[in-house]
Amino acid sequence: MPLKQMLKVLFITPEITPLLKTGGLADVSAALPAALREHKADVRVLLPGYPRVMDCLKDKRLLTILADTGVHGEVRLLEAALPGSGVPLLVIDYPLFYERDGGPYIDHNGHDWVDNAQRFALLSKVGAILGGSESPLAWRPDIVQCNDWQSGLTPAYLHFSPEPRAATVMTIHNMAFQGTFPASLVTPLGLPASSYSINGVEYYGQLSFLKAGLYYANHITTVSPTYAEEIQQEPLGFGMQGLLAHRHQDLTGIVNGIDGHEWNPATDKLLTHNYSADDLTGKAASKRALQHKLGLTENPDIPLLGVISRLTHQKGLDLLPAIAPFLLEYPVQIVILGSGEAGLEEAFLHLAQSRPDQVAAVIGFNEALSHQIEAGADIFLMPSRFEPCGLNQMYSQCYGTPPIVHATGGLVDTVVDATPENISNGTATGFIFTQATTHGLNECIHRALKAFSDQPTWRKIQSNGMRRDFSWNRSAEEYLALYESIFKSD
Ligand code: ADP
């Protein structure tokens, strides 16, 4: 049943594309509010006024001045619109905390800013003020959505503030980052001393912003249903599995969407040739162009495996160099684009030097090449040990490049394994292996290569993936249904 009034949502984030991005949260923060607004939710995004944010927003106006935020001096709240989508932004103008060179969380030397607790307590506090009964704004959100530890204190502040107040949702994008600080900061940050308890913000003798959010929020979400299950256990709960298991009825996994304007093989401007599920001629041409560009043997029949990734232990790519010498005895090609751990970069460069006609390794970040690999490869490799949601496996399905993935997190929720049953019922879109070992990966690659050699079956797997809906529209509908259920039960 439609709500009588438009639902009002305050979305709090420490980063947003295209203003400032260190990871996937920035993309979610831009795309999800825009998609929710298309569904007639009144969403506004709250973020800190870092220099890049202030510089990019030419149309910003003073909205109000907040007197009682717990910091010295006045905090100005500005309003602006996100370039591109026009999503309304609320920007915290407090130069002492945010006007500095370096990253949003770390300085030039890669060290955390020493006052990160204060900086993100302010973000959390402003969110709580706007969601509470003492907000100076006429616009009062029904729901406050917090994202990762940087806004984790908002649900705690709101919990201890007078009614009426907005319901809170705490969204986890990666459990590995928790925002832990000395316990001595509890009172200075404006939290009641009573909150420093196992039933509160305390976490192994420290103050944890993420734990505060997970404990006090009305509801918790994360970015895939399988990750929602995994974080209730060791090791992926990173110490918070007990609390998450206790709150499992308030925990929902919603898979992220992908940007269909940027990632569509029919319109992608970074490709040399465009194509669609109905006509894959452009995909064959993209493969030829990629082989040519990277100096590989130009042969349409040799299966080409693609990798685009941060080269870290999380992504499981250390498994590939170990099996590559055996794999390369077959007519197979591998393209790797990525950067990260020095040992892995070296291993891939070494492999490419020893087999230049079969392996290409490009170390670095290259947006255009990443699109060209998604289009030009036959099979995409993503053996992540854990993956809260993951994007590349969705891109690759849209590009007719069935992925090989490890059975974890969002990878399980977005890829349908090519079992004989799933092939015959028309749902198979990729290949899933259960053990993150060299043996598990090797077996799965050979299963995919066998399927590739049966081209009519391969075409079906490609087509199934290309026709799937990975849009933000679908995710936004799920968030909206969740907000409405929390709003009604509150
Ligand atoms: P994560 O956010 O954990 O790195 P995802 O698969 O969710 O992994 O998203 C990674 C994003 O970054 C994708 O858009 C991917 O294409 C891109 N990416 C990763 N490494 C590179 C690279 N070296 N060059 C270009 N794009 C990259």
391 lines ligand 1 (CB under 6 A): yes
Output phi, psi for 469, to 5 deg.
Answer: -100, 105
24 lines ligand 1 (CB under 6 A): yes
**In angstroms, what is the span from residue 163 Cα to ligand 1's centroid?**
42
The Cα 448–Cα 306 span in angstroms is: 13
The tens digit of pLDDT for each residue in 27-57 reads 899 999 999 999 989 999 999 999 999 999 9
The Cα 175–Cα 170 span in angstroms is: 12
Atom of ligand 1 nearest to the CA of 27: 14
CB 77 within 8 Å of CB 90: yes
pLDDT at 1: 42
309 lines ligand 1 (CB under 6 A): yes
Tens digit of each residue's pLDDT, the chain (490 residues) = 444 579 999 999 999 999 998 888 998 999 999 999 999 899 999 999 999 999 999 999 999 999 999 998 999 999 999 999 999 999 999 999 999 998 999 998 889 999 999 999 999 999 999 999 999 999 999 999 999 999 999 999 999 999 999 999 999 998 989 999 999 999 999 999 999 999 999 999 999 999 999 999 999 999 999 999 999 999 999 999 999 999 999 999 999 999 888 899 999 999 999 999 999 999 999 999 999 999 999 999 999 999 999 999 999 999 999 999 999 999 999 999 999 999 999 999 999 999 999 999 999 989 999 999 999 999 999 999 999 999 999 999 999 999 999 999 999 999 999 999 999 999 999 999 999 999 999 999 999 999 999 999 999 999 999 999 999 999 999 999 999 999 876 5
Structure tokens at 217: 């929020």
The Cα 220–Cα 170 span in angstroms is: 5
Closest protein CA for atom 20 of ligand 1? 309
Closest protein CA for atom 19 of ligand 1? 309
Atom of ligand 1 nearest to the CA of 382: 6
20 lines ligand 1 (CB under 6 A): no
Structure tokens at 192: 């009641």
368 lines ligand 1 (CB under 6 A): no
Atom of ligand 1 nearest to the CA of 23: 2
Best mutation site among 223, 307, 370 for ligand 1 pocket (most ligand atoms within 8 Å of CB) = 370
314 lines ligand 1 (CB under 6 A): no
pLDDT at 106: 93
255 lines ligand 1 (CB under 6 A): no
337 lines ligand 1 (CB under 6 A): yes
**Virtual torsion, Cα 57, 63, 69, 71, nearest 10 deg:** 50
Q: Which residues pair with 311 in a beta bridge?
A: 340
The angle formed by the CA atoms of residues 80, 86 and 92, to the nearest 5 degrees, is 25
Atom of ligand 1 nearest to the CA of 367: 25
370 lines ligand 1 (CB under 6 A): yes
**In angstroms, what is the span from residue 356 Cα to ligand 1's centroid?**
24
Best mutation site among 341, 391, 414, 470 for ligand 1 pocket (most ligand atoms within 8 Å of CB) = 391
365 lines ligand 1 (CB under 6 A): yes
Atom of ligand 1 nearest to the CA of 387: 3
**In angstroms, what is the span from residue 354 Cα to ligand 1's centroid?**
26
Q: Which region holds residue 191: left if phi is over 0, alpha if psi is between -120 and 50, else beta?
A: beta
The tens digit of pLDDT for each residue in 208-244 reads 999 999 999 999 999 999 999 999 999 999 999 999 9
CB 84 within 8 Å of CB 51: no
The tens digit of pLDDT for each residue in 116-141 reads 999 999 999 999 999 999 999 999 99
CB 251 within 8 Å of CB 221: yes
224 lines ligand 1 (CB under 6 A): no
Structure tokens at 109: 């030397």
**In angstroms, what is the span from residue 309 Cα to ligand 1's centroid?**
5
Atom of ligand 1 nearest to the CA of 364: 23
The tens digit of pLDDT for each residue in 386-401 reads 999 999 999 999 999 9
Atom of ligand 1 nearest to the CA of 393: 6
CB 67 within 8 Å of CB 74: yes
Closest protein CA for atom 12 of ligand 1? 309
Percent above pLDDT 70 for the chain: 99
